[in-house]
Amino acid sequence: MKEAIFGAGCFWGVENRFGKIKGVVETEVGYTGGSTKNPTYKDVCTNKTGHAEVVKITYDPSIVSYEELLELFWDIHNPTTLNRQGWDTGTQYRSAVFYNNEEQHLSAIKLKEKLDKSGKYKKPIVTEIVPAAEYYKAEEYHQKYHEKNK
């Protein structure tokens, strides 16, 4: 099994989408990319922690590739808006790929460049591509939120 970590706005919907992909064996929402240790949702919402809302995905690479996960990541949110997804604004909603190794890093850069050149978006992609940092699991009421709150 391998892991991927993506920030694409509010983590509830992002987790729900990735959880439906064949080959994804587990999803978990949390916070990463900031400096505050053990942040809470309330802390992250202050826009002062530096953390993004993220989804950590555990997947079987024999069924789904990291590149396929990246393609879905860029399809399910607007990667051209800085610190904003829809009505949600703040650095916690930024578009970000938190890579775990050089292979993920290069794959993310390559696909981002390909998308930028494709003309799919009218504005440049602002997605951060940064090394994975310390990850903190979000509170239990955020986990599988859409499943719990149909």
Q: Catalytic positions, please?
A: 10
Structure tokens belonging to residue 83:
């610190």
In a 3-state reduction of DSSP, which class is residue 68?
helix
Under 8 Å between Cβ of 70 and 100: no
**Taking the CB of residue 35, how many other CB atoms lie within 10 A of it?**
11
Cα 124 to Cα 24: distance, rounded to the nearest angstrom: 29
In a 3-state reduction of DSSP, which class is residue 40?
coil
